[in-house]
A and B are shown apart, each in its own frame.
Chain A
Amino acid sequence: MKTFLKILLASSLAISASAKEIKLLNVSYDPTRELYTEYNAAFAKYWKAKTGDDVVISQSHGGSGKQAQSVIAGLEADVVTLALSYDIDAISQQAKILPADWQKRLPNNSTPYTSTIVFLVRKGNPKGIKDWDDLVKPHVSVVVPNPKTSGGARWAYLGAYAYALETYGHDDAKAKDFITKLYKNVPILDSGARGSTITFAQRGIGDVLLAWENEAHLALKEFGADNFEIVTPPLSILAEPPVAVVDKNAKRHGTTEVANEYLKYLYSDEGQEIAAKNFYRPRNQDIAAKYAANFTQLKLVTVDQEFGGWTKAQATHFTDGGVFDQIYQP
C-alpha cells in the first residue's frame, strides 16, 4: 500500500511539474510576417529555457485597420502588434479590452522598433524618381495601399503630406493640392501593404511603390535586386508601430504573463537584432549602429510634430469625409 501511495505521489508531482503548452495569438499588420516568424521562434526558445513551458504563437496578418476591427469584433488576440497607435486606441476605446494608457506600459511609447516610408522603383529608375515631388509629375504611376484600411498607407500619405508642408512653408492648401495631384497618379488601391507589393512587383503595375522600408527590402530579396531598387527620399515620416497586450483576452486565456514577456522581449538584444535584420530600425542604439548599413540616413518627421498626433491626424485625414475622401477620386 505504501509503495502504491509513493507511486501515486510521484505521478502527481510528475504531472504537476510537466511542461505546459501555452498558446498565444499575435494579431499584427501586413508586412510583419517574416519579422514575427523569426521572432516567435526565438521567443519560444527563450521561454522554454526560462520556464520549461512550450509557447506556440499563432500569427494573424492584414491591413492594420482591418486587423483592429477584427479584434474589436471578437478575434481573441493575446497581443496586438499593429502599424500605428490609433488602431490600438480604437481597440481600447471600442472593445474596452485594454486600458486607455496602454502605450505607457512599455518603453518608447510601446514601439520597440521604428520604420519609415521609402520608394521602390523599377531597375534603373526609368522615371528618375528621387523625391516626393517626382511622384506628382504627369505619367508617373504610384502604387500605394488604401489609407482607410492600411496602416502603412496612412504613414505614406502623411509622409507625402509632411513633405508638402515642409516644402511649402506649412501652407495647408498647397499641401492639399500636392496630395491631390499625388493620388491622381495612383491607379489602384490595395487594402494592405502586401497587396500593393504584389500589384507593383508581381503584376508590373506602376512606376513606384510607396512602401514600408522593410517591405521594400523584402521585395528586393523576394523579387530580385536586378528588377527593382530602393530610393530613399531626403525626408520621410518616422513610423512607430506599437505593441500591446490585450489584457482581457490574455486574462481569459491565462496568458497574461507570457504575453507581457513576449512583448518585453522585443526590447532585448536578441529581439532588437531580429528587428534590425528584418529592416526595422531598432530602438537600441548599439544594435542600430551595428546594422547602420541597412538603413539610409534621412530626415524623419513625426506625426506629433506635423499633425498634432494620431488622433487629430486620423480625424482630419482618414475619417469618413476627411481630407483623403475629399481628394481621392477612384
Chain B
Amino acid sequence: MKINQLLIAAFVGAQFVTASYAADDATNNSTEAAEIAALKQEIQTLDQKVSDLENQRQAQQPVADSADKQQIQDLDQKVRILSRERELDQDAAATAAKSAPKITLGATGLGFSSADSNFVATIHGLIQVDSRTFSQDNHVQGNDSFLLRRARPIITGTVFHDFDFNFTPEFGNATPGATSAASTPSIYDAYINYRYSPWLQLEAGRFKPPVGLEYLQTDTATSFNERSLVSDLIPGRDLGFELHGDIAGGVVSYAAGIFNGVGDNQRNTTDIGFQNDREFDGRLFVQPFKATGIAALQNFGVGAGGSWGSSSITNTLGLPNTTGGGSTSYGFSTDGQQQFFAYSATTVAAHTHWRFSPQGYYYYGPFGLLGEYVISDQGVENSTTLKTANLRNTAWEISGGWVLTGEDAAYNGVTPRHNFDPRNGGWGAWQVVARYAELNVDSAAFPTFASATTSASAAQAWSLGLNWYLNRNIRVNASYSHTTFTGGGAASATTAPASVSSHPESVFFTRVQLAF
C-alpha cells in the first residue's frame, strides 16, 4: 500500500470514529447520515487527486529521461568533435612542419634549408689573427706584426637540389711591409657547381684550379700558418670551368678545367682574362684502399696535377705574384712572406708555361704525412734584348704531424675528441707538425732574366709547429720556420729580395683561428 493510500485510510478512519461517537447522540440521526455522505464525497475527491498525481508523475518521467539522454548525446558529440579537431590540428601541424623551412646553428655554421632540402644556404666564417716575429729582419722594416691574415664571411648553399654555390669575399690578408698595408676587400671564391652525380660535376666561376695538393687543402686545415715553398709554383685562384667528380666513393678523383690562366702563386683578381689564350689544368688523385677494410691504408692517396698554357703575347701577369713586400717585382716568397727571388723588371712571361706536380699523402690514426713535388716550366722573354728561355723552376716539400692526444689526423684537419673545457677536464687536441721544403730557380734565369746579386737561386726551409685544436671552431697555432738561401743579395742590402736573401730567415708565427 502506498503512503497516500495509508493517509487517506487514516483520515477516513478518524472521521468515522468521530461520527460513531456522534451517533450516540439520538437527537442527531439525520445529521449523521448527511455527514457520512459528505465524507464519502470527500474520499472520492481525494482518491481522484491521488490518482491524478500518480498519472502526472508517470507521464513526466519519460520526458525527463529523454532530455537527459539527448543532453548526454550532445555532450558526447561535442567531446568527439573537440577530440577530432585536436587530431586534425596535430595532423596539420605535422604537415606544416614537413613543409616548414629549417634553421640550424652549430659548429658548421648557420644553416637555412627548405623542408625538402632542395634549397640550402649556410653562413660560415673564417678569421685568422696572426703574428710574425723575425729574429733578424736585416733592416726590412715592418715585417714584425700582428695581422689579420684572413677575414672571410662565406656563404655556401644549394638551389634546386643539384646546384651548389660558394661566395667567399676576403676582408683580411694585409701584407706587412708592402707599399700599402691596407686590406683591400676582394672576392676569393665565387662559383656555381652542378652535381649530376658525385662522379660528374661541372663547376664554373672563380675557385682553386686543380693542380697543387697543398694549395687545394682548405685554409683552415693547413699544418702551418703559411703554405710551403711548393705553393710558390702553383697557380692560385682562377676563373674558368671545371669538370670534376669522385668515382667509387672517392677512390678516384678527377678534375679537368679551362681557365684564364695565372702566374705561379698568382690569384686572378681582374675578373677577366688578360689574353685570348687559355690555360688547361687537370688533376687525378687515387686512394686505392679507401673502399677496402684495410684501415692502415684507407687514407693513402697519390696523384698528379698539372697545367698547360701558351700565351701568344708577352705580359707580366703570367709571372709569379709580388707578395713579399718591399718589391713590386714578380718573384717567390719565403714562409715569412718575404720575397727572396724576383725577375728583372725587363722580364715578361712569354710562350708556354706548364706545370707538373706529383703528390701524395698518408694518414693513419694520429699520424699524417703529405708530400708534393712541382715543376713549373716558365717561358720568359727579356723585353729589352728579346732573348727568350724556358726556365724550369722546381720545388718540393714533405710535411708530417702527430696528434699527441690521439685523434685522427686528416687532410681536412683534426677534430678534437674532447673540447677545451678545463672545468671538466677537456683540453682539446694537440698536434706537433714538421716540414721541409726547397725551391730551386733555373740557373738559366741568371743574369738575363733575374739578378744573381739580389735574388737567391734557391731556398731551403724547415719548420716546426704546435697546433692546438680547442674545438671544431677554434684553433691556436705556434710555429717556427727557418729558411736558408743559395746566392742572393749583399749583407748591406735594405730592400727585398736582396735584403731577404742576404741572410737566413727565422720567423716565429702564432695564429688564433675561428672557423665555422
Across the interface, do B80 and A204 meet the contact criterion of CB distance under 8 Å? yes
Q: Compute how far the CA of A199 lies from the CA of B88 in the bound complex, rounded to whole angstroms.
A: 10
Name the A residues within 8 Å of B87 (CB-CB): 203
Name the A residues within 8 Å of B88 (CB-CB): 188, 190-191, 195
Name the B residues within 8 Å of A187 (CB-CB): 77, 81
Central interface residue in A190, A199, A203, A205, by most chain B CB within 10 Å = A205
Q: Compute how far the CA of A187 lies from the CA of B83 in the bound complex, rounded to whole angstroms.
A: 12
Across the interface, do A141 and B85 meet the contact criterion of CB distance under 8 Å? no
Name the A residues within 8 Å of B102 (CB-CB): none
* Mask of A163-187 contacts with B, CB within 8 angstroms, 1/0: 0000000000000000000000001
Cβ distance B368 to chain A, nearest Cβ, rounded Å: 45
Q: Compute how far the CA of A206 lies from the CA of B77 in the bound complex, rounded to whole angstroms.
A: 7
Q: Which of B41-90 contact A (CB under 8 A)?
A: 77, 80-81, 83-85, 87-88
Across the interface, do A188 and B84 meet the contact criterion of CB distance under 8 Å? yes
Across the interface, do A203 and B77 meet the contact criterion of CB distance under 8 Å? no
Name the A residues within 8 Å of B81 (CB-CB): 187-188, 205
Central interface residue in A141, A187, A195, by most chain B CB within 10 Å = A187
Name the B residues within 8 Å of A204 (CB-CB): 80
* Mask of A122-151 contacts with B, CB within 8 angstroms, 1/0: 000000000000000000010000000000
* Mask of B459-481 contacts with A, CB within 8 angstroms, 1/0: 00000000000000000000000
Cβ distance A95 to chain B, nearest Cβ, rounded Å: 15
> Size of chain B's interface in residues, with CB distance under 8 A?
9
Q: Compute how far the CA of A204 lies from the CA of B88 in the bound complex, rounded to whole angstroms.
A: 15
Cβ distance A261 to chain B, nearest Cβ, rounded Å: 30
Q: Compute how far the CA of A191 lies from the CA of B89 in the bound complex, rounded to whole angstroms.
A: 11
Name the B residues within 8 Å of A190 (CB-CB): 88
Q: Which of B77-114 contact A (CB under 8 A)?
A: 77, 80-81, 83-85, 87-88, 92
For A195, the closest partner residue in chain B by CB is: B88
Partner of A141, one of B77, B84, B92: B77
User: Which applies to chain B's interface (DSSP): helix, strand, loop or mixed?
Assistant: helix
Partner of B77, one of A191, A195, A205: A205
For B118, the closest partner residue in chain A by CB is: A74
For A199, the closest partner residue in chain B by CB is: B84
Name the A residues within 8 Å of B80 (CB-CB): 203-205
Q: Compute how far the CA of A205 lies from the CA of B86 in the bound complex, rounded to whole angstroms.
A: 14
Q: Compute how far the CA of A270 lies from the CA of B84 in the bound complex, rounded to whole angstroms.
A: 40
Q: Compute how far the CA of A206 lies from the CA of B87 in the bound complex, rounded to whole angstroms.
A: 16
Q: Compute how far the CA of A205 lies from the CA of B81 in the bound complex, rounded to whole angstroms.
A: 7
Q: Compute how far the CA of A69 lies from the CA of B301 in the bound complex, rounded to whole angstroms.
A: 50
Name the B residues within 8 Å of A199 (CB-CB): 84
Q: Compute how far the CA of A187 lies from the CA of B92 in the bound complex, rounded to whole angstroms.
A: 18
Q: Which of A185-216 contact B (CB under 8 A)?
A: 187-188, 190-191, 195, 199, 203-206
Name the B residues within 8 Å of A205 (CB-CB): 77, 80-81, 84
Beyond A141-B77, A187-B77, whether A203 also contacts B83 by CB under 8 A is yes
Q: Compute how far the CA of A204 lies from the CA of B77 in the bound complex, rounded to whole angstroms.
A: 8
Cβ distance A281 to chain B, nearest Cβ, rounded Å: 31
Cβ distance A194 to chain B, nearest Cβ, rounded Å: 12
Q: Compute how far the CA of A188 lies from the CA of B77 in the bound complex, rounded to whole angstroms.
A: 11
For A141, the closest partner residue in chain B by CB is: B77
Q: Compute how far the CA of A293 lies from the CA of B84 in the bound complex, rounded to whole angstroms.
A: 35
Cβ distance B90 to chain A, nearest Cβ, rounded Å: 13
For B80, the closest partner residue in chain A by CB is: A205
Q: Compute how far the CA of A297 lies from the CA of B306 in the bound complex, rounded to whole angstroms.
A: 82
Q: Compute how far the CA of A141 lies from the CA of B92 in the bound complex, rounded to whole angstroms.
A: 23
Name the A residues within 8 Å of B77 (CB-CB): 141, 187, 205-206
Cβ distance A187 to chain B, nearest Cβ, rounded Å: 5
Name the B residues within 8 Å of A195 (CB-CB): 88
For B78, the closest partner residue in chain A by CB is: A187
Cβ distance B114 to chain A, nearest Cβ, rounded Å: 11
Q: Compute how far the CA of A205 lies from the CA of B80 in the bound complex, rounded to whole angstroms.
A: 6
Q: Compute how far the CA of A229 lies from the CA of B447 in the bound complex, rounded to whole angstroms.
A: 106
Name the B residues within 8 Å of A203 (CB-CB): 80, 83-84, 87
Cβ distance A25 to chain B, nearest Cβ, rounded Å: 16
For B88, the closest partner residue in chain A by CB is: A190
For A190, the closest partner residue in chain B by CB is: B88
Cβ distance B74 to chain A, nearest Cβ, rounded Å: 8
Cβ distance B67 to chain A, nearest Cβ, rounded Å: 13
Central interface residue in B83, B84, B92, by most chain A CB within 10 Å = B84
Name the A residues within 8 Å of B85 (CB-CB): 188
Q: Compute how far the CA of A203 lies from the CA of B80 in the bound complex, rounded to whole angstroms.
A: 7
Name the B residues within 8 Å of A191 (CB-CB): 88, 92
For B83, the closest partner residue in chain A by CB is: A203
Name the B residues within 8 Å of A206 (CB-CB): 77
Cβ distance B370 to chain A, nearest Cβ, rounded Å: 45
Cβ distance A152 to chain B, nearest Cβ, rounded Å: 17
Q: Compute how far the CA of A101 lies from the CA of B393 in the bound complex, rounded to whole angstroms.
A: 70
Cβ distance B18 to chain A, nearest Cβ, rounded Å: 59
Q: Compute how far the CA of A176 lies from the CA of B412 in the bound complex, rounded to whole angstroms.
A: 70
Cβ distance A161 to chain B, nearest Cβ, rounded Å: 25
Q: Compute how far the CA of A151 lies from the CA of B380 in the bound complex, rounded to whole angstroms.
A: 76
Name the A residues within 8 Å of B92 (CB-CB): 191
Chain A contact residues, CB within 8 Å of chain B: 141, 187-188, 190-191, 195, 199, 203-206
8 smallest CB-CB distances across A and B, nearest first, come from A187-B81, A205-B80, A203-B84, A199-B84, A188-B81, A204-B80, A203-B80, A205-B81
Q: List 22 A-B contacts (CB under 8 A).
A: A141-B77, A187-B77, A187-B81, A188-B81, A188-B84, A188-B85, A188-B88, A190-B88, A191-B88, A191-B92, A195-B88, A199-B84, A203-B80, A203-B83, A203-B84, A203-B87, A204-B80, A205-B77, A205-B80, A205-B81, A205-B84, A206-B77
Q: Knowing that A190-B88, A204-B80 are A-B contacts, what are 20 other residue pairs whose CB atoms are under 8 Å apart, sorted by A's residue number? A: A141-B77, A187-B77, A187-B81, A188-B81, A188-B84, A188-B85, A188-B88, A191-B88, A191-B92, A195-B88, A199-B84, A203-B80, A203-B83, A203-B84, A203-B87, A205-B77, A205-B80, A205-B81, A205-B84, A206-B77
